[in-house]
Structure 1
Amino acid sequence: MELDTVAAALRESWGADTCSPEDVAAWHPGNPARGQCATTAVVMHDYFGGSLVMGEVLVNGARVDFHWWNRLPDGREVDLTIGQFGPHESVVGGTEVERPTGPTRLDAQYALLAARVKARLAESPPT
């Protein structure tokens, strides 16, 4: 599977219903990546493996959230949701973290996003 193909399917699959609950109020079609980082990173991990990376989101020097992205097996870092942040927000750090193995608060959002991506990829002609 090509990275660009999966990335496009992810972007087309984002919605308020796949957003992290604390970001739903800030999510809108003009910023579809808002609140999608954790679920997107885990779906990317499903397709490409590698590592999950977590950094801190800062506003005025104070941590307000965490941000997730991927480090692929070849060492490339892929962050499909970095565009969600405004000029007042910065992402710092980046520590590899284990993929969650038990229930999480984002299970429903992940399941929905993974299913949408799978369906979109099934509709796409092979490259």
Structure 2
Amino acid sequence: MYTENDLLRALRKSWSIQSSSKWSIDNPAKGQCGVTALVVNDILGGKIYKTWLDEGWHFYNTFDGERKDFTQEQFSYNLEYQDVRSNREEAFQDTNDIQYSYLKSQVYESLRES
């Protein structure tokens, strides 16, 4: 079983322009929320939640009622989480098959190497 820290390290190593068109070297977590919430859900389970921001919905995960936002580092401000229950279908609207498959395969490869 992987820990949240193992997964965060693997995500940071795996985020790229292939997993989000908003990615940049200066802000690798940018635009990664939907695809990351899906991959985290695949690996650790839990539930997917969302919060409305000026730029649109922001997706993240919860485990046993505890919020875990693996992409919060993309923001230069503290979010005011609304904790709106979401699901895989809504999170998938923030990504596509190619980005999702890429990130999932890269994260699993990184986890195997660690």
Residue pairs, 1:65-104, within 5 angstroms: 65-72=56-63, 74-87=64-77, 90-100=79-89
Q: How does 1:1-127 map to 2 (within 5 A)?
A: 1-19=2-20, 21=21, 24=22, 27-58=23-54, 64-72=55-63, 74-87=64-77, 90-100=79-89, 105-124=95-114
Letter of the 1:109 counterpart: Q
Mark the runs of 5 or more structure 2 residues left unpaired by the alignment: none
RMSD of Structure 2 on Structure 1 (CA): 2.0
Higher relative contact order (CA 8 A, sep 6+): 2
2:110 maps to amino acid: R
Q: Which runs of 5+ in 1 are unaligned?
A: 59-63
User: Shift in Å at residue 90 of structure 1?
Assistant: 4.8
Percent of paired sites with the same residue: 32
CA–CA distance in structure 1, aligned partners of residues 107 and 88 of structure 2: 19
Aligned positions, number = 111
Please give the TM-score of this superposition, normalised by the length of structure 1: 0.78
- Higher share in strand: 1
Alignment TM-score, normalising by the size of structure 2:
0.86
